[in-house]
Amino acid sequence: MDTNQISANNPALTSWVAVSPNSDFPVQNLPFGIIKEDGNKRVASRIGDFCIDLKALFVLGYLENLNFELSDFDAEFLNSLMKKGKKAVRELRNRLSKLFSSDFTDLQKNQHHVDQILIPVDKVEMAMPVQIGDYTDFYSSREHATNVGTMFRDPNNALLPNWLWIPVGYHGRASSIILNEDVRRPKGQIKPDPNADPIYAPCRNLDFELETAFITFEGKPLGDRISTEEAEEYIFGMVLFNDWSARDIQTWEYVPLGPFLAKNFASSISPWIVTLDALQPFKVDGPTQEPEVLSYLKYEGQKSYDINLQVILQPENGEENLICKSNMKYMYWNMSQQLAHHTVNGCNVRCGDLMGSGTISGPTPDSYGSMLELAWKGTKPLKMSDGTERKFLQDQDTVIMRGYCEKNGIRVGFGEVRNKIIPAKD
């Protein structure tokens, strides 16, 4: 990736749009999403507390000489825009950066145009940003895999034999990926008494999983693979991802084929997609990988991103409780390796496919990315500020995930994904 072409990342840039110092959306971010206003959906970006209406920007002539058409912005999903490819999206983001920088006055001085283009975020509803065709979830945090293996298998041999060799993953259910909506407690078969038959009941051990996810551009034809060296050219951007889990349903059903009903009742993403270009200044080294990975998984250069991640649990009518602080840099398998492994057999990825990172747990107990780990299988309940305790999630609890990068005084963030748990249906 030629980062010299990403003028939008210049840390010296300022904007004529007022942006709070602690905002996730300075002029160096400029993410993409879908806004809904008066029933109409269209493509937008964001700066500070304003959405940038890209359809209006195009109609008013500010996006001339870029490889886009009106239909790319007058759309219910970002897929059409994304199909123009990485170079086109980069040029679009660079143009937005120029239009909204303090040094550029053409738009700034035309208040009639500004009023059409900038919309306060509280005046619109966010919609699903992409039409997701396929969804894959990985299992790529060594700390998380070790914790789970310690709890359920052998503390002295927690990792399964293949874990240090391949980015383990499974195919999920794209139809149940949501935004900031209520999550209904799922029902299914659980086996609370190991010596008795299973029962049909609401999940008793409902959990979140702190993850990120990346969304792909159009990939290669079926039969071709994407290498680690070129993988980032096929990644459009990233979102926060909550991979909800029904632990008791999962325990009973996962043998022999793995996750099924314990996972596909809901998965939540944040509505703004932060481009991989915007995250380039925050690249860092990842963990050392031993044993040495096989040739197709080798990756030169910095492997990960310094993305601060938080999980907040808010009981009904209660205060927010910060229960987890983690970071994407802890991930053992990086996104390029995940995509290379996903396609090494010739599997084709398509525009809008979503790839979950897997639970991102860090090295300390306060950085564990799930209730299963934080409360250690229910043996160490978490104390809330209202005096209650949590082994797993309760009805009416709200789970909030936030994430951001920060360097040289520049903060680039994702906003949040927020979901309230509602009771199971009768």
Question: What's the pLDDT score for residue 99?
Answer: 98
The four Cα atoms 78, 82, 86, 92 give a dihedral, to 10 degrees, of -50
> pLDDT confidence of 74, banded at 50, 70, 90?
very high
Tell me: pLDDT of 3 over 80. Answer: no
Average of per-residue pLDDT values in the chain:
97
User: Measuring CA to CA, which residue among 308, 314, 300, 292 is closest to residue 386?
Assistant: 314
In degrees, to the nearest 5, what angle opens at C-alpha 97 toward C-alphas 96 and 100? 80
Half-sphere exposure for 319 (CA within 13 Å, toward CB): 9
User: Measuring CA to CA, which residue among 199, 174, 213 is closest to residue 356?
Assistant: 213
pLDDT tens-digit readout, 296-337: 999 989 989 999 999 999 999 999 999 999 999 999 999 999
Own/partner contacts of 20-27, CB < 8 Å, gap of 24 or more, are 20/48, 20/49, 21/411, 22/411, 23/48, 23/49, 23/411, 23/413, 24/404, 24/411, 24/412, 24/413, 24/414, 24/415, 25/272, 25/413, 25/415, 26/410, 26/411, 26/412, 27/97, 27/100, 27/101
Cβ-based neighbours of 110, under 8 Å, separated by 6 or more: none
Cα gap 323→373, rounded to integer Å: 11
145 φ, ψ to 5°?
A: -65, -35
Q: Please, what is the end-to-end C-alpha distance for the chain in angstroms?
A: 53
Q: Which positions are catalytic?
A: 144
311 φ, ψ to 5°?
A: -125, 130
50 φ, ψ to 5°?
A: -125, 140
Pairing of strands 169-171, 177-178: unpaired
Q: Are 202 and 181 in contact (CB under 8 A)?
A: no
Question: What's the pLDDT score for residue 225?
Answer: 98
Cα gap 414→240, rounded to integer Å: 7
Question: What Å distances lie between residue 229 and 148, 313, 336, 356, 357, CA to CA?
Answer: 31, 39, 8, 20, 19
Beta strand residue intervals within 304-379, DSSP E: 304-305, 308-314, 321-327, 354-356
Tell me: pLDDT of 2 over 80. Answer: no
pLDDT tens-digit readout, 108-127: 999 999 999 999 999 999 99
Is this prediction's pTM over 0.95? yes
Cα gap 426→415, rounded to integer Å: 34
Question: What's the pLDDT score for residue 290?
Answer: 97
Q: Is 157 buried (19+), middle (13-18) or exposed (0-12) by CB count in 10 A?
A: exposed
38 φ, ψ to 5°?
A: 55, 35
What the block records as the tokens of 383 is 């104390």
User: Measuring CA to CA, which residue among 99, 87, 4 is closest to residue 45?
Assistant: 99
Q: What is the CA radius of gyration of the chain?
A: 22
Indicate the residue type of 72. Answer: D
Domains of the chain (ranges; CATH) run: 3-127 (2.30.30.230), 135-422 (3.90.850.10)
Question: What's the pLDDT score for residue 361?
Answer: 98
Question: What Å distances lie between residue 286 and 91, 299, 343, 366, CA to CA?
Answer: 29, 11, 22, 20
**What value does the mean pLDDT take over residues 266-288?**
98
DSSP state of 292: P
Cα gap 49→36, rounded to integer Å: 16
Cα gap 138→163, rounded to integer Å: 11
Q: Are 366 and 324 in contact (CB under 8 A)?
A: yes
Question: What's the pLDDT score for residue 303?
Answer: 87
Question: What's the pLDDT score for residue 5?
Answer: 78
Question: What Å distances lie between residue 64 and 70, 96, 104, 155, CA to CA?
Answer: 11, 12, 16, 60
pLDDT tens-digit readout, 416-425: 999 999 999 9
Tell me: pLDDT of 207 over 70. Answer: yes
Tell me: pLDDT of 236 over 60. Answer: yes
Half-sphere exposure for 364 (CA within 13 Å, toward CB): 7
Question: What's the pLDDT score for residue 4?
Answer: 60
